[in-house]
């Protein structure tokens, strides 16, 4: 009961944060059309920067600056672009010159607009519709973007530390090195997440997924807090992929009892059963959908608020701005550290809860 209350509070908080962030964005959008005072310009610039930061990118840029000659310099390296558009097209993202140039590959022209690749002509014309959205054709894009690089890096890092940890058990019953810190976490996931939610009998087959998803989300959330500028979990595509795995595991491990509760809820009169069936069926999709949105919204909200607070420093151009901005950003960073772990925990917890409901055997009604 306590746990459900905590979850309710958390969901409410998440909702509140997202709503407030959206609300804060609306007046800016209205005023951005005017762009008269320099402060307004600065505000738009900060907003654009935040927006840009939240998006994926085709090259690995650590930071950029404008040198004395007025040139915009980028520090980083390009990544491969992989497109499927009348055949496979692979080229380096350096061809885009950080979105400033049109890339040509096998007689086709591509341009980057708002961090997306569009098909274009030799001049890089982008057509817009009335809502200022690009209407150019988009090729199927399987590029190794910055986020993909970090997913691979985190994967390799996890493989390295956990396989080393596994090897350390070969000659010693107690963990060694980094395993000393990781073992309590693994035991926590087993004893406090998997076993209570799934049950002693079935929990083993879900442990691999639960452990991987917990450490993956946690590590990648923590990386998002570093100045490397990566935000893997604030991409809806990433959280969708994670939630989809949870959904498929739940659906494929669902037993007779689980499906019976969905299509023909026992213990209620038959007209209710007919009404409940579509609701329950929808519920199976809504549950992983909420996982997807929760993780995405939390991390995105954290990044937006954190960067907005840092942006305050440039807006308040007086002595109070910097300490205030620094203090707030520091406090919020600490909170974000907690959120990084908390979101990993919640995702794992709820996944375990869904698996548990899928394999539950005896009837509670």
Partner 1 sequence: MDKLIEQFSLGLFFWQLILFVALVLLLKKFAWKPILNAVNDREEGILKALESAENARKEMQNLTADNERILKEARIERDAMLKEAREMKDSIITEAKGEAHAQATKVIEQAKATIESEKHAAIAEIKNQVAELSLEIAEKVMRSELSDKNKQIKLVEDMLKEVKL
Binding flag, residue 76, partner 1 (CB under 8 A): no
**Contact residue for partner 1 among 90, 152, 268, 282 (CB under 8 A):** 152
Nearest-CA neighbor of 83 among 112, 56, 60?
112
Question: What residues have CB less than 8 Å from 20, skipping those under 6 apart?
Answer: none
- Token readout for 27 is 């007046």
Binding flag, residue 143, partner 1 (CB under 8 A): yes
DSSP conformation letters of 80-108:
EEEEESSSEEEEEGGGGTTTTS-EEETTE
> What's the DSSP call for residue 73?
E
Residue 274 to residues 86, 262, 267: CA-CA distances in angstroms? 48, 10, 13
Alpha-carbon gap, residue 166 to 182, rounded angstroms:
11
Alpha-carbon gap, residue 362 to 365, rounded angstroms:
9
**Contact residue for partner 1 among 155, 199, 229, 321 (CB under 8 A):** 155
Binding flag, residue 18, partner 1 (CB under 8 A): no
Give the count of alpha carbons within 13 A of 232, CB side only: 26
Binding flag, residue 158, partner 1 (CB under 8 A): yes
Binding flag, residue 324, partner 1 (CB under 8 A): no
Binding flag, residue 141, partner 1 (CB under 8 A): yes
Residue closer to partner 1 by CB (options 115, 333) is 115
What minimum distance in Å lies between the beta carbon of 299 and partner 1? 14
Alpha-carbon gap, residue 77 to 70, rounded angstroms:
21
- Token readout for 135 is 């209407």
Site residue total, partner 1 (CB under 8 A): 47
At what angle are helices 204-224 and 236-253 packed, to 10 degrees? 170
**Contact residue for partner 1 among 148, 328, 332, 341 (CB under 8 A):** 148
What minimum distance in Å lies between the beta carbon of 200 and partner 1? 12
Interaction pattern, residues 259-298, with partner 1; x per rule: CB under 8 A: ----------------------------------------
| Window of 101-109, 157-165, 270-278, 349-357 that interacts with partner 1 by CB under 8 A | 157-165
Residue count of the chain, please give it. 365
Binding flag, residue 109, partner 1 (CB under 8 A): no
Binding flag, residue 56, partner 1 (CB under 8 A): yes
Contacts with partner 1, residue ranges (CB under 8 A) = 55-56, 82, 116, 133, 140-145, 147-148, 151-152, 155, 158-159, 162-163, 165-167, 169, 173-174, 183, 186-187, 190, 204, 207-209, 211-213, 216, 235-238, 240-242, 244-245
């Amino acid at each position: 009961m306590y746990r459900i209350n905590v979850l309710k509070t958390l969901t409410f908080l998440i909702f509140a944060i997202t709503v407030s962030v959206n609300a804060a964005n609306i007046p800016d959008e209205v005023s951005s059309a005017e762009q008269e005072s320099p402060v307004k310009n600065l505000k738009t610039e900060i907003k654009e920067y935040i927006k840009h930061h939240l998006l994926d990118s085709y090259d690995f840029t650590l930071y950029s600056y404008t040198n004395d000659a007025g040139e915009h310099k980028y520090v980083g390296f390009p990544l491969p672009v992989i497109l499927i558009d009348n055949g496979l097209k692979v080229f380096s993202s350096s061809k885009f010159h950080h979105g400033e140039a049109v890339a040509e590959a096998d007689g086709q022209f591509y341009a980057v607009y708002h961090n997306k690749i569009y098909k274009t002509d030799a001049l890089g014309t982008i057509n817009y519709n009335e809502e200022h959205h690009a209407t150019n054709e988009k090729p199927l894009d399987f590029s190794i973007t910055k986020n993909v690089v970090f997913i691979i890096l985190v994967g390799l890092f996890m493989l390295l530390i956990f396989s080393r940890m596994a090897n350390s058990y070969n000659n010693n019953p107690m963990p060694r090195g980094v395993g000393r810190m990781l073992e309590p976490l693994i035991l926590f996931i087993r004893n406090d997440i998997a076993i209570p939610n799934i049950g002693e009998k079935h929990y083993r087959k879900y442990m691999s997924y639960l452990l991987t998803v917990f450490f993956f989300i946690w590590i990648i959330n923590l990386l998002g807090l570093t100045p490397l500028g990566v935000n893997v979990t604030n991409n809806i595509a990433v959280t969708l992929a994670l939630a989809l795995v949870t959904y498929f595991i739940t659906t494929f491990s669902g037993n007779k009892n689980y499906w019976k509760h969905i299509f023909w809820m026992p213990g209620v009169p038959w007209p209710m059963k007919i009404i409940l069936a579509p609701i329950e069926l929808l519920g199976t999709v809504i549950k992983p959908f909420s996982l997807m949105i929760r993780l995405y919204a939390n991390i995105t909200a954290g990044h937006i608020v954190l960067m907005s607070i840092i942006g305050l420093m440039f807006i308040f151009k007086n002595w109070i701005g910097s300490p205030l901005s620094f203090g707030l950003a520091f406090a919020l960073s600490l909170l974000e550290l907690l959120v990084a772990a908390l979101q990993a925990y919640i995702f794992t917890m709820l996944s375990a809860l869904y698996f548990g409901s899928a394999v539950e055997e005896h009837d509670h009604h």
